[in-house]
Structure 1
């Protein structure tokens, strides 16, 4: 059987790193610019700098306008606020494809209602742009992929297709608890660090910052419990502190977005948690989480202006 073609929507750090690792293993891969339609197809050399090795591949980049049809696997690596536009563009294309969202946040899959096969991936890898067509990459462990609708038919075949030696994926029959655990940690990192204008190591260095992160974790875990999702708040806090220690000196993506006058992902993190609590009639459950998110959004708006 011919191996499925892989379309990566989003030519940022994660998209470029993934394209290089897939191409290196002779996968059929195409990098698609998510928001630009007027740029002609190009073939560029992309460099990925890992912990021990450097990788280079010639990658073909196109746009939605350059795609007559889409058949295979679509990996979406753009920021989640672009999903509505991406979903509309995909609906306009003929073909048969599965969609995998490699994004942070809750309910980022909503714009893809009506699509047959939609999966969420919880990334346990990080990548940053360090130059023109050059990115750094670090993988902590393989990233789990699971169906957002609980239908895991074909999941393992999909994971086998996108899995690579250096950027690993694994199938997960119940992605929801893992997704929530990652979101909760992001709600702390992506709000507290930008507001304090500091790096991820703040929770290891400062007990008051760690205390505030613990409050966010407790609020979000309580909300998850109301949804019937049982999580261990102590385990989440322990993991947050471990990440803080290992990424000491590294800036969280939301803070970098603010510094570079870009829209942040806070709407799919703290503010989505807040919207859920409001819809359930228990807004007081996530008071601190909501306020931190609103402050980040305000800070971002002021910076952009």
Structure 2
């Protein structure tokens, strides 16, 4: 007989959490989605609408607004915004079992560490490679990719088996810190500029001066990462940034979508994180600082 899959809870069910939680539920893995009231109400009323290139279905899955719904879960996927990490950890902590695995599927490089401090237990950092968005409450649309890279942990094989059942490719790697930094650099290159202009990556790359600006962002990030003990290949990252202009030409950044919807952005955990670490090491990061400041200005102006 096949092994019984672990029970999953997804804390912060939105684009990323809704996508992976929806795939798991569709495959028969027990899941509860924990999210905002509008999202939860829609899922409870009509199921989670998960729209991909392969299917467009409504998936029946448990949903709740209270972190207490995570009680009894074998695995908790934390998918909240970086700025909500500590609050999410405090809400989650009383409901974790002694052997519950907590995985951070968040942007940035330090969320697992911050979450572990609040929970008083190890948290598994996960690199997420997916393009997805919330089209409406309870409606998640997948735009591309979907693989996960997990740091090693005791229950990894069982978790990987559940994701495989759901059609999600996963690998376990000791190089997750480097991968998280690599993803951060790409986000620093495109997210803020896409938000400032409300334009997709392909359009940005085609504008005069933008390729060189993005190369400057990459160089600053690589220098800061090196000071933090993470060695990155600047030339390879610059090539990745150039490729993304074509492979994700129509993609609008998550920071841009946050601004357009009136949500708080994660800019302080992207370009702002690089700026903070640069200050800690006495390094300059003027381009990242300018991008962070401009996004803050747009956030302030939106509320004026």
Same fold (TM over 0.5): yes
Q: Match of 2:25, SS?
A: helix
Does 2:12 match 1:13? no
Question: Is the contact made by 2:67 and 2:92 (CA closer than 8 Å) also made in structure 1?
Answer: no
Deviation at 1:219, TM superposition (A): 0.6
1:47 match? 49
2:84 match? 82
Q: Distance in 2 between matches of 1:226 and 1:294?
A: 23
Deviation at 1:230, TM superposition (A): 1.4
Question: Is the contact made by 1:43 and 1:60 (CA closer than 8 Å) also made in structure 2?
Answer: no
Deviation per CA, 1:73-112, whole angstroms, max 9, x where unpaired?
0001221111111100112225231111111112122132
Residue 23 to residue 40, structure 1, CA distance change in 2 (3 Å): closer
Q: Distance in 2 between matches of 1:23 and 1:173?
A: 29
Deviation at 1:156, TM superposition (A): 3.1
Q: Distance in 2 between matches of 1:70 and 1:86?
A: 17
Q: Distance in 2 between matches of 1:62 and 1:134?
A: 16
Deviation at 1:173, TM superposition (A): 2.0
Q: Distance in 1 between matches of 2:194 and 2:41?
A: 36
Matches within 5 A, 1:24-103: 24-33=26-35, 42=44, 44-64=46-66, 66-67=68-69, 69-96=71-98, 97-103=100-106
Matches within 5 A, 1:132-211: 132-140=137-145, 142-146=147-151, 152-211=153-212
**Which segment is superposed worse, 64-73 or 199-208?**
64-73
2:136 match? 131
Question: Is the contact made by 1:75 and 1:101 (CA closer than 8 Å) also made in structure 2?
Answer: yes
Q: Distance in 2 between matches of 1:213 and 1:86?
A: 33
Aligned residues: CA RMSD:
2.5
Deviation per CA, 1:104-129, whole angstroms, max 9, x where unpaired?
11212213225433112211111112
Question: Is the contact made by 2:43 and 2:61 (CA closer than 8 Å) also made in structure 1?
Answer: no
Matches within 5 A, 1:99-114: 99-109=102-112, 110-113=114-117, 114=119
Deviation per CA, 1:226-260, whole angstroms, max 9, x where unpaired?
22221111111211222221222331111111111
* Structure 1 unaligned regions, length at least 5: none
**Which segment is superposed worse, 112-121 or 256-265?**
112-121
Normalised to the residue count of structure 1, the TM-score between the two structures is 0.88
Q: Distance in 2 between matches of 1:2 and 1:53?
A: 26
Normalised to the residue count of structure 2, the TM-score between the two structures is 0.89
Q: Distance in 2 between matches of 1:124 and 1:221?
A: 20
Deviation per CA, 1:259-278, whole angstroms, max 9, x where unpaired?
11110010111111111111
Deviation at 1:293, TM superposition (A): 1.0
Residue 145 to residue 6, structure 1, CA distance change in 2 (3 Å): same
The structure that is helix-richer by fraction is 2
Question: Is the contact made by 1:69 and 1:93 (CA closer than 8 Å) also made in structure 2?
Answer: yes
Residue 141 to residue 132, structure 1, CA distance change in 2 (3 Å): closer
Q: Match of 1:51, SS?
A: coil
Residue 203 to residue 61, structure 1, CA distance change in 2 (3 Å): same
1:249 match? 250
Q: Distance in 1 between matches of 2:67 and 2:49?
A: 26
* Structure 2 unaligned regions, length at least 5: none
Q: Distance in 2 between matches of 1:274 and 1:296?
A: 14
Q: Distance in 2 between matches of 1:172 and 1:216?
A: 27
2:263 match? 262
Deviation per CA, 1:188-217, whole angstroms, max 9, x where unpaired?
111112223321213431241111010000
Q: How many residues get paired? A: 298
2:295 match? 296
